[in-house]
Each structure stands twice: as C-alpha cells, then as structure tokens.
Amino acid sequence: MKKNWRKFINSFKPSYNVDVTMYHFIPGLPVKANRTRHSFKKGQFDEAKLFFDKASEKTRDTNVAPVEINLVRGKRRVVSKRHFGPVKALKQMRMSA
C-alpha cells in the first residue's frame, strides 16, 4: 500500500536533468558547443545532485575547460550551475557570430 502512495506522490514531483556543455574554441573559427543531457526520473533529486557533484569534481580534476554544468528542474529552471574556464566570454562570441 505504501508503495502505491509513494508512486502517486512521485508522479507530481518534477524530473531533473544535468546538462554538460563543452565549448570548443579555435581562433579564426566559430565557437562550437557540444551539449550532453543526462536525464533522471521524477523525484530523483538526490541522484541528480550526486551526479552533478561528481561531474563537477571530475571536470575540475581533469582540467577540461571551458565547460558549463547545469542542474535543471523540470524543463527550464536551473537549480545549480558551475562554470570552468571563460564560458561567459565564449557565449558572447557565439551570440555575436
């Protein structure tokens, strides 16, 4: 019985995504972005947050830059974000091109 209630309550909770965007910059060429989305089921905030933290640590340890990592609730609301490298400058270059 409790399992059914838990399923019912989880059906109203939002789903979560972790978006990892890696920017590739070569002088003289336009900036390219490679975005990867890792999706989690409804109500799995703890798993998504754990994945977000592990991805941030791994990126910081391997010195891969520039990278932007976002923890997204639902479709658009960003809960947490981390930037490694000059992400803001590359976004502006990408918008102006």
**pLDDT tens sequence across 1-43:** 777 888 788 788 899 999 999 988 888 888 888 999 999 999 8
What's the rounded Cα separation, in Å, for the pair 76 and 66? 22
pLDDT digits (tens, 9 = 90+) for 38-93: 999 998 999 999 999 999 999 999 987 799 999 999 888 999 999 998 888 877 77
CB 69 within 8 A of CB 59: yes
DSSP secondary-structure letter at 35? E
Of 22, 12, 6, the closest CA to residue 67 belongs to 22
Residue 6's φ and ψ, nearest 5 degrees, are -60, -40
